[in-house]
Amino acid sequence: MDSIRLSMNAWGGTGPVKPLHGEVTNAAGWALQRELEAAPRLLAPQVADLRDWRHRDVGWGVVIADGAVVPPALQRLIDNRHGSVFRYMRNSPHEFTHLRNLEAQRDIAMVGAPKGMAPEALPQYLLIYGSPKDVPWQIQYVLNANRCVGRLDIADDALARYVEALISGWPSDNASRPDHSLVWAVVDPNDAEDITHLMRHAIADALFREIKSDNQLAAGSKFLDGADSPVTTEQFAETLASHRPGLVVMTSHGKTGPIDNLTEMKRDLGLPVDHAGAALDAEQVLGRWKPSGAIWYSHACCSAGVDGSGFFAKLFAAGSPAEQTLGAISGLGASIAPLPTALLSAEPPIRAFVGHVEPTFNWTLEERFTGQFLTTGIIDGLYKRLYVEKGELPAPVSYAFRDWYSQTSGLRAQYVQAQARFNRGADTDDVLLTTQLAARDIESTVLLGDPTVAIPPL
């Protein structure tokens, strides 16, 4: 056998650093006299299930404006869950990068901080308390990218009812049924190019097909399909009351007018409208139906509210109807739409409302060049992740939308590449616009309610 020469990565500490070589004189003899030691049995690292918000390495906490008083009902929830309280620091240089943990006396990064309940960590589940004037929507947008976030802006008896339901459970009398779902797609019968047709195909119909194929959910599923026959808001309200769905999904235009009457505009902001333009009356709905634990998703303009930032200023031609509408919406200032507020304040309340801040666009739903639908994150969130079998850990609705939110990082990367190519003279206008709009559309999909709520296991 030829001699064996080995090298070692060792240095004696004096003189020049040189490779340390040696000839092996008795390879087999040395190797055979030494049995390989058995590898010790080690416990696998325990990785917390992110659905388990009670786990210390996952955690739950509250975000509230610096200086704001924590209401007694909310304090009861914090005490019950042993949650952490973080303060939003308006006008701080770190306003959109850090939250302050007063108890730990330290500022915590919104992006990159470890998950959990340790003093240096940021919980995975965060409940923002307060209006978007107190804690801006932009804080929710930032946190949506890497945490599971919800928001409450209700007070007094409404807050006490909601907290009681979170702690003790939703009442069983006339409660929503987890195995019942109601999908409503409003379609403009007079305009085949209207976005309502795209929303119907890419969201409502795609989701209903998934639910209808499920043996446990098919019998309890209903689709009020505007493509078959127009459905009025009155018919929708009647179906809610008789069917008692645990999941409500609707696609429609959201009311954003009249733009010359800001009082009426604010009163009806984001309400879904039927094919004839009649807005859903929240008072009428709650007069017939007890939302008791339902989860509601509304894909409509301003269904969750408006942020008043003027983000879309100069997107459309000056004086055009689109430009005037966006300007009027922005003029309302940061606020939450009335429908989710009414549903969360009901007796008993819904679990959560998922909607959009300001408008949504067709390029977020359908790939411009191929026609491919881009709504998998919504469909999977509302079906594959949200529904679980008995015995499984429930999937909080905020967790169910993780894949939807995760797209923003890829869109931002595409935007940076398109920007670099544009600066070199390439024609990337459409990519710049598409990625900017889509990222904004996705991040401004917000959850109103506590982020830990989930449909009970089937």
- Kindly report, residue by residue over 106-137, the tens digit of the pLDDT: 999 999 999 999 999 999 999 999 999 999 99
d(CA 268, CA 279): 8
Q: Among 105, 120, 153, which residue terminates a domain?
A: 153
8-state DSSP, 439: H
Q: Any residues with CB less than 8 A from the CB of 379 and at least 6 apart, and which?
A: 203, 206, 207, 210
pLDDT value at 34 more than 60: no
pLDDT value at 12 more than 50: no
131 inside domain: yes
222 and 88 assigned to the same domain: no
Decide: residue 106, CB within 10 A, 0-12 exposed, 13-18 middle, 19+ buried: exposed
Nearest-5° angle of CA 323, CA 201, CA 442?
50
Instruction: State the amino acid at position 404 in one-letter form.
Output: W
8-state DSSP, 36: P
Instruction: State the amino acid at position 49 in one-letter form.
Output: D
160 inside domain: no
Q: Any residues with CB less than 8 A from the CB of 375 and at least 6 apart, and which?
A: 202, 203, 206, 365
247 and 299 assigned to the same domain: yes
d(CA 264, CA 279): 12
286 inside domain: yes
304 and 361 assigned to the same domain: yes
pTM: 0.89
Three-state DSSP class for residue 119 = coil
265 inside domain: yes
Mean pLDDT to the nearest integer, 401-410: 94
179 and 231 assigned to the same domain: yes
Cβ atoms of residues 329 and 306 within 8 Å = yes
Mean pLDDT to the nearest integer, 25-48: 58
List, in sequence order, the alpha helices (H) in 169-292: 195-199, 206-212, 233-243, 262-267, 282-288
Quote the tokens at residue 240. 């809610």
Cβ atoms of residues 202 and 365 within 8 Å = yes
How many CB atoms are closer than 10 A to CB 257? 15
- Lookup result for tokens 């078959």: 228
104 and 190 assigned to the same domain: no
148 and 183 assigned to the same domain: no
Q: Among 153, 188, 211, which residue terminates a domain?
A: 153
d(CA 303, CA 32): 74
Q: What pLDDT shows up at residue 40?
A: 53
192 inside domain: yes
Mean pLDDT to the nearest integer, 63-74: 97
Q: Which domain holds residue 86?
A: 60-153
Please, which residues bridge with residue 201 across strands? none
Decide: residue 406, CB within 10 A, 0-12 exposed, 13-18 middle, 19+ buried: middle
148 and 184 assigned to the same domain: no
149 and 179 assigned to the same domain: no
Quote the tokens at residue 196. 């309502």
How many CB atoms are closer than 10 A to CB 400? 26
39 inside domain: no
Q: What pLDDT shows up at residue 114?
A: 97
- Lookup result for tokens 């600066």: 423
299 and 264 assigned to the same domain: yes
190 and 105 assigned to the same domain: no
From the list 129, 118, 221, the residue with the least C-alpha distance to 166 is 129
Please, which residues bridge with residue 20 across strands? 8
What is the band of 363 on the pLDDT scale with cuts at 50, 70, 90?
Answer: confident
Better pLDDT: 155 or 189: 155
pLDDT value at 35 more than 70: no
pLDDT value at 47 more than 90: no
Three-state DSSP class for residue 441 = helix
Q: What pLDDT shows up at residue 351?
A: 97
d(CA 293, CA 184): 19
- For 92, phi then psi, to 5°, come to -80, 150
- Lookup result for tokens 């809610």: 240
238 and 296 assigned to the same domain: yes
Mean pLDDT to the nearest integer, 278-307: 94
342 and 257 assigned to the same domain: yes
Rg of the chain over Cα atoms, rounded to whole angstroms, equals 27
Q: Among 100, 120, 153, which residue terminates a domain?
A: 153
Tally of domains within the chain: 2
371 inside domain: yes
pLDDT value at 413 more than 70: yes
Quote the tokens at residue 458. 């089937």
How many CB atoms are closer than 10 A to CB 56? 14
Q: Any residues with CB less than 8 A from the CB of 224 and at least 6 apart, and which?
A: 182, 183, 184, 185, 231, 235, 236, 239
329 inside domain: yes
